[in-house]
Amino acid sequence: MTTGLSADRLKRIDQHFQEKYIDTGKLPGVLTLVARRGEIAHFSALGSMDIENDKPTAKDTIFRIYSMTKAITSVALMMLYEEGRFQLNDPVHNYLPEWKNTEVWVSGEYPDFKTRPQDRPMTIRDLLSHQSGLTYGFNDLNAVDRAYQQFGWDEMFATPLDEWSKRLSKMPLLFSPGTAWNYSLATDLCGYLVQVLSGTDFEKFLIERIFEPLGMVDTSFNISNDKKDRFASCYVPTPEGGIAVDVRSDEVFYLNPPAFKSGGGGLLSTATDYYRFLQMLANNGVFEGRRYLSRKTVELMTANHLPDGKSVYDHAFTTPEEEYRKGEGWGLGFSIALDHGKTQIAGSPGQYSWGGAASTEYWVDPKEEVLVIFMTQLMPSGTYPIKRELQTLVNAAIDD
């Protein structure tokens, strides 16, 4: 089977990232995997995974994949959907009763909020598609964001999922479910739903139903002692244009299993592990002869679930700065490409993708049968237009 990708043009990927990012000290190192029609056509490791200890990036380097975890959690939940455990329009409070009386923010600052009842209950689809009314609390964009900061990230990661859900449910929603899109902790709540619906610990479910069957031998919520030497350091940009170690992502945090298993951003993984997971989705739910999801479920997950075909740009609670989001919708766990005239980059409608907070990226283009994984460790994502540049280079290599 031929991949229909030009080997000479794929070489531009390494040249681009070496010269523009690694040689200039903007990124420590990168790992890029490009596959087409189920065959890996390009897999390269450049630069360092740990500059301070002079460790080169390797094909088995373990990375913090942060929000690339969301796709895995969404697949886990949809496995239970296929078993008839729930329907997408089921209210979340049917399974997590603490969410029944959560109200919507109207005005005021924590703890003196003025609130109102939801227009309708939050559904499981609202969680999967980020239309739940939840937020993240990373920024001071509104009073609910600031209220989340009272939780404290260190405290959150020391809190089991059941306790965390009860506490979060006491915070008001940013908007009534279904009325807007807002990137949020919703997928973490999906992880807790997996645990409740299956009657199995969330991490145990992932191991038994996804990681072990797929052969994802290096994907976990913590790093074991025998794998520490393969764990990449994480970096942040400096004012001078270089990078420095991000002490907030120190490996010590990952040495012990966290109490809070973050389905939205807690996993560590390798490019080869994540490839096996993505190739399963690209194969419409099958990998190496074993079915994980039906073709129809994958189609459902990769459809745009924003109302009336809206884009993220048009449906977002706070208008995004990025104009390209006018051509991007949202499915059940992924960003969905709608209109490449509006995203202003080569690709195909129906391409699904996302990335992680440390500048990792992935996408699957079902039309072209292309799958791409990009690994590095630079916080925050969006520091550089990595995905857009890489997507240009990959699509320029299509040669059939």
- Tens digit of pLDDT for each residue in 170-186? 999 999 999 999 999 99
pLDDT of residue 309: 96
Residue at 244 is within a domain: yes
| Mean pLDDT in residue range 351-358 | 98
Number of separate domains in the chain: 2
Asked whether residue 322 falls in the same domain as residue 365, the answer is yes
Asked whether residue 384 falls in the same domain as residue 322, the answer is yes
d(CA 262, CA 156): 10
Asked whether residue 230 falls in the same domain as residue 259, the answer is yes
Asked whether residue 26 falls in the same domain as residue 137, the answer is no
Residue at 1 is within a domain: no
Q: Is residue 1 scored above 60 in pLDDT?
A: no
pLDDT of residue 399: 96
d(CA 198, CA 200): 5
Asked whether residue 158 falls in the same domain as residue 269, the answer is no
Q: Is residue 157 scored above 80 in pLDDT?
A: no
d(CA 249, CA 380): 12
Asked whether residue 154 falls in the same domain as residue 213, the answer is no
Band (pLDDT 50/70/90 cuts) for residue 156 is: confident
C-beta atoms surrounding 298 within 10 Å? 25
pLDDT of residue 252: 78
Nearby residues of 94 by Cβ (< 8 Å), 6 or more positions away: 86
Q: Is residue 327 scored above 90 in pLDDT?
A: yes
Asked whether residue 284 falls in the same domain as residue 387, the answer is yes
DSSP string, 108-173: --TTS-EEE--SS--BHHHHHTT-SS----SS-SSHHHHHHTTT-HHHHTTS-HHHHHHHHTTSPB
- Please state at what angle helix 186-198 crosses helix 69-82, rounded to 10 degrees: 40
- Last residue of a domain, which of 139, 174, 198? 198
Residue at 2 is within a domain: no
Asked whether residue 178 falls in the same domain as residue 52, the answer is no
Residue 362: strand pairing partners: 354, 373
pLDDT of residue 153: 67
Asked whether residue 223 falls in the same domain as residue 354, the answer is yes
- Last residue of a domain, which of 198, 231, 260? 198
CATH number at residue 236: 3.40.710.10
| Mean pLDDT in residue range 58-83 | 98
Q: Is residue 137 scored above 90 in pLDDT?
A: no
Average pLDDT, the chain: 96
- Last residue of a domain, which of 168, 198, 228? 198
Asked whether residue 49 falls in the same domain as residue 153, the answer is no
Look at the pTM and tell me if it is higher than 0.75.
Answer: yes
Which domain, by its residues, includes 107?
76-198
Residue at 291 is within a domain: yes
pLDDT of residue 257: 93
d(CA 246, CA 230): 17
Residue at 139 is within a domain: yes
Q: Is residue 255 scored above 80 in pLDDT?
A: yes
Asked whether residue 146 falls in the same domain as residue 252, the answer is no
